[in-house]
């Protein structure tokens, strides 16, 4: 068993090294996390309670969330102080309000989460509230979600100016981008030991406290419909936060009007993720028939084993060597090439997609004037934080999803169909474990008579959709299709289907 454990530790390090020049840091961060998690091979780390977090029931916050970071403060004044007059380099004609700042989630330890909030143009009072969470674990919703995916702006190559994103999600909702957990991006704790105990439960607890305290600052949103969305490791963050909200709605005086959750290319089940990953690579011609036959024949991929024996390890090692020059987060996307002199360029052209967009975003968010405009503490901002030991990460989120569906919460999952790290195959395996009957069979959905993806709905309001031509971060690759999918989710209807004339 010890040999197998060591083998899997090396196995997961292979794609991490190979993707250094290909994947964004958020995506590579997930691979590193899975490497670290697998190396521990702690088979006892399972969700034992189908209605709760790993190792036990939902964490309860028995008292009201801490607000002693600003005792006796005037929340109206805090909101006014958070308003952003303008971001440096933003284009003319910005027709929505922006806010940025900190919300204390633990005044005793000095733990505060940074948020960026963009209201909807036109009539924000008529639009719902949506919280967006990026994954990692430990990657920034500001640097990725807001500035590279679904936010209102993109950073230009000059590192100083912004361009409007025509398919920003604040066109249809008022969107909060939250840097979570503490230690990520501009979020922080004055108690360094907090970072050592960070994990799924504390992340859910802090994010819940953030929402309660944020709504005190923005009371006009307290009765507004609330939706939670995210991607990748947010396949953990979002369901656990939703479960925390529903549990507290039943046992505290604070009611959050949660109406549904939406997660893209989610990490849901470790064993299903690995099985689906290699299955996807084989189905798309990346690994050979012989290697896939070895993997299928020797790897168990069950949730209660170490995946088999040395023959499994050797087979998977071969598959990594065969795919080492590929961006596994979008197997058909161009990559960012960096020259020795520090300049960078795209390996090929894909309309609307810049594989090098991370560099100008990093430079922009580290400009002192930009940090002041966001009302952030001036610091060296980084896109992802490495947590040496991210605590209590369940091996599967399927029981939590079952609990949410059983409590009547609409749950939507979607997959960019070019991602092999958290691919459609892995998500399908996890969905099968939900044991839900189909109410609306698999069908295409369209954008201007072009197939945008496929969708299927299940009993209990559970919906699964694909987005054609998108990788791990769907709004980056297919912003128009991602926005249409969001609109359908918010309306509670399946995305449109129009037959070609």
| 232 among known catalytic residues | yes
- How far CA 296 is from CA of 39, 160, 275, 293, 299, in Å, comes to 21, 50, 9, 5, 6
Report the 10 Å Cβ neighbour count for 467.
Answer: 29
DSSP string, 44-55: T-----TTSSTT
| 472 among known catalytic residues | yes
Tokens representing 18 are 């190979």
DSSP string, 129-195: EEEEE--TTTB-IIIIIIIIISSSEEE-TTSS-EEE-TT-GGGTSEEEEEE-STTSTT-EESSTHHH
Tokens representing 103 are 């919300």
Q: How far apart are CA 469 and CA 454, in angstroms?
A: 12
Q: Which of 120, 327, 472, 488 is flagged as catalytic?
A: 472
Q: Which of 120, 141, 232, 323 is flagged as catalytic?
A: 232
| 120 among known catalytic residues | no
Name residue, tokens 């896109």: 383
Name residue, tokens 């020049």: 21
Q: Which of 419, 426, 429, 488 is flagged as catalytic?
A: 419
Q: How far apart are CA 211 and CA 230, in angstroms?
A: 16
Angle at 213 between CA 179 and CA 205, to 5 degrees: 60
Q: What is the largest CA-CA distance in the chain?
A: 68
3-state secondary structure of 111: strand
**Do residues 130 and 150 touch, judged by C-beta distance below 8 A?**
no
Q: Provide, for the chain, the percentages of residues in helix, strand and coil under a 3-state DSSP scheme, each rounded to the nearest 5.
A: 35, 20, 45
**Do residues 68 and 214 touch, judged by C-beta distance below 8 A?**
no
Residues with catalytic function: 232, 419, 472
């Amino acid at each position: 068993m010890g040999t197998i454990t060591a083998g899997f530790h090396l196995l997961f390090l292979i794609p991490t090294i190979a993707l250094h020049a290909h994947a964004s840091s958020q995506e590579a961060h997930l691979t590193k996390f899975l490497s670290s998690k697998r190396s521990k091979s702690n088979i006892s780390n399972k969700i034992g309670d189908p209605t709760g977090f790993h190792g036990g029931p939902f964490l309860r916050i028995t008292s009201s969330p801490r607000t002693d970071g600003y005792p006796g403060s005037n929340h109206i004044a805090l909101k006014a102080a958070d308003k952003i007059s303008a971001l440096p380099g933003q284009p003319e004609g910005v027709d929505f309000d922006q806010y940025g700042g900190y919300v204390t989630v633990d005044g005793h330890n000095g733990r505060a989460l940074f948020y960026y909030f963009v209201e909807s143009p036109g009539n924000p009072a008529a639009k719902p509230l949506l919280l967006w969470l990026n994954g990692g674990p430990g990657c920034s919703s500001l640097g990725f979600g807001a500035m590279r995916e679904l936010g209102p702006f993109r950073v230009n190559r000059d590192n100083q100016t912004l361009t409007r994103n025509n398919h920003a999600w604040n066109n249809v909702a008022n969107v909060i981008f939250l840097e979570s957990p503490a230690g990520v991006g501009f979020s922080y704790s004055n108690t360094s030991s907090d970072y050592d105990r960070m994990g799924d439960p504390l992340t859910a607890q802090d994010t819940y406290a953030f929402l309660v305290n944020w709504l005190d600052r923005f009371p006009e949103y307290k009765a507004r419909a609330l939706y939670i969305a995210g991607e990748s490791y947010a396949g953990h963050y979002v369901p656990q936060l939703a479960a925390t909200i529903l549990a507290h709605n039943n046992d505290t005086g604070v009611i959050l009007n949660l109406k549904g959750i939406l997660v893209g290319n989610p990490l849901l089940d470790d064993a299903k993720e690995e099985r689906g990953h290699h299955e996807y690579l084989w189905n798309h011609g990346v690994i050979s028939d012989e290697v896939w036959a070895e993997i299928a024949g020797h790897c168990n991929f069950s949730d209660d084993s170490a995946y088999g024996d040395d023959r499994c390890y050797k087979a998977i090692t071969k598959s990594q060597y065969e795919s080492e020059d590929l961006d596994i987060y979008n197997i058909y996307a161009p990559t960012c090439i960096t020259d020795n002199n520090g300049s960078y360029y795209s390996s090929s052209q894909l309309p609307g997609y810049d594989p090098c967009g991370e560099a100008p975003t990093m430079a922009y968010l580290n400009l002192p004037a930009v940090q002041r405009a966001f009302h952030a503490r001036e610091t060296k901002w980084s896109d992802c934080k490495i947590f040496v030991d991210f605590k209590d990460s369940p091996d599967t989120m399927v029981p939590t999803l079952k609990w949410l569906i059983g409590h009547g919460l609409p749950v939507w999952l979607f997959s960019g169909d070019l991602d092999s790290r958290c691919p459609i195959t892995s998500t399908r395996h996890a969905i099968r474990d939900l044991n839900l009957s189909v109410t609306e069979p698999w069908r295409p959905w369209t954008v201007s008579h072009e197939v945008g993806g496929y969708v299927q709905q299940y009993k209990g309001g559970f919906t699964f959709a694909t987005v054609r031509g998108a990788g791990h971060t769907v709004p980056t690759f297919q912003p128009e299709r991602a926005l249409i999918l969001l609109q359908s989710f918010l309306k509670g209807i399946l995305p449109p289907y129009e037959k070609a004339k």
